Structure 1
């Protein structure tokens, strides 16, 4: 079973938080698969990763390209297989997967200022708990991520 971390965003947007988390994954030698809830989110994140200054280099590509398997960060919409060998999965904008057990760690980022997104995250938490995954909950605080409940 995967370890699933729920990341409750209260101070920054997904497009600001995801590059920092992805940078930490790459710095540790990992590869990431990012499932976006919409094509618009994927476009916005793609731009955000190219423009990121912290970290300043986040090599990535999209799952619909011929070089997808070579990408250290792979962006996708829909529940597709991690063709890049990723052990980390980021779920954005309510994206969900039936493949969580194919990863070591899943990070579910949600906008805590959106009541609908928070309610949907609670439902995903309940589903993941029922499936037997290990769960953790992180909330943005004044000094960064704080482990809660």
Structure 2
């Protein structure tokens, strides 16, 4: 099962069930014939930005973040505008150099966008590597990033 499909199912499970622990999500997915590890669920929780809220009995449950949070595309554009240093494309890869400390945030936001042209995205402290599905996709992704940066330049005029 692809990550996007799993995320959609996890959201559905959160609406239909009270989920106390990560293990509960693993078990619900296993009941549906979907084998995942606790580590995968942990990453999914981070990417979906799930939160634990208190219940009246003193326990906590996972829930989706409130809708009033800023859209991931807005966060991504702002973060790239503020942190961007340089970028380049090589074959199916797009590389971003960002201010130190911003690599994981940019990578996570790119993952949240679920761009169809992206196979995977990894980062360290100041570098993000986007693995695209094709060379054409890498060029398109680079163009999207450049448009985000250009939007800031144009708003200053």
- Please report the TM-score for the alignment, with normalisation by the length of structure 2: 0.28
Comparing both structures, which one devotes a greater share of its residues to strand? 1
Q: Relative to total residues, which structure has the larger helix share, 1 or 2? A: 2
- Bigger Rg over Cα: 2
More relative contact order, 1 or 2 (CA 8 Å, 6+ apart): 1
